[in-house]
Amino acid sequence: MKIIMLGAPGAGKGTQAKKIAEKYEIPHVSTGDIFRANIKNGTELGMEAKKYMDAGALVPDELTVKILLDRVSQADCENGYVLDGFPRTIPQAEVLDKALSERGESIDYAIDVDVPDEAIVKRMGGRRACVTCGATYHIVNIPPKKEGICDQCGSELILRPDDEPATVQKRLDVYHEQTQPLIDFYQNKGVLHSVDGTRSMEEIFAEITALLG
């Protein structure tokens, strides 16, 4: 079962990816984690990626797919995996598609966690982080016991610059421009399934599991 998670920043696709991985006992494969692991272990691919990262450049799609294929070739991915954070663009999807088809494989499900922009801006604007210990809260969903104060260490809670409405909207604009076309790409392949991401985490997961069987 090879699954790709799609969805805007803040849609909750990472949370659902972890839950899917746990339930079906397949790895949750995040490109960020793979890069870090390869660099830490000093692999040839990791060192090549590090050159680009150190120069502040994007790692080329072909190299990213090579690192990804190396990861999904490992024994723990024999029964499938959940890809989170890749592909982000059509060229990446095409390189991945070609590489998988050369191995006689393909993506089985592309799951789009669909949340309207205004709901994401509101959701992320409600997040608060502790300046000292990094604990995170949400003023509606996970409020601290005392407003503006961390339950764990008593320090001040702040709205991170990343979660400011204007910043979130910018990230969403980039997502719509680069990543939204992937929805059409996987729709055309007949593997796209869209779920309503405005509901509770449990309701979304129940729909995904019904879909995966």
Verify whether residue 36 is a known catalytic residue.
no
Task: For residue 92, tell me if it sits in a domain.
Answer: yes
Catalytic residue, from 18, 50, 122, 171: name it.
Answer: 171
Per the residue annotation, which of 2, 66, 71, 127 is the catalytic one? Answer: 127
- Number of folded domains that form the chain: 1
Q: Flag whether 123 is in a domain.
A: no
Q: What is the CATH number of the domain that holds 102?
A: 3.40.50.300
Taking only the tens place, the pLDDT of each residue in 42-78 is 999 999 999 988 888 888 888 998 999 999 999 999 9
Q: How far is CA 140 from CA 85, 137, 144, 147, 191, in A?
A: 27, 9, 10, 11, 35
In order of 44, 76, 204, the CA distances from 19 in angstroms are 32, 17, 11
- Catalytic-labelled residue, pool 23, 51, 103, 160: 160
Domain presence at residue 142 = no
Is residue 130 in a domain?
Answer: no
Establish if 186 belongs to a structural domain: yes
Q: What are phi and psi of 18, to 5 degrees?
A: -65, -40
Residue pLDDT, tens place only, 124-148: 999 999 999 989 999 988 999 999 9
Average pLDDT rounded to a whole number, residues 109-122:
95
pLDDT value for 23: 96
Active site residue 160: yes
Say whether pTM exceeds 0.75.
yes
**Pairing assessment for the beta strands 127-130 and 136-138 based on DSSP bridges:** antiparallel
Q: Considering the domain boundaries, does residue 51 fall inside one? A: yes
Does residue 15 belong to any structural domain of this protein?
yes
Domain housing 198: 2-117+167-212
Q: Which of 18, 88, 122, 199 is catalytic?
A: 88
**Looking at 13, 19, 66, 123, which residue is catalytic?**
13
- For the question of residue 171 being annotated catalytic, the response is yes
Q: Output DSSP code: residue 149.
A: B
In a domain, 196, yes or no: yes
At residue 26, does pLDDT exceed 90?
yes
Q: Is 13 annotated in the active site?
A: yes
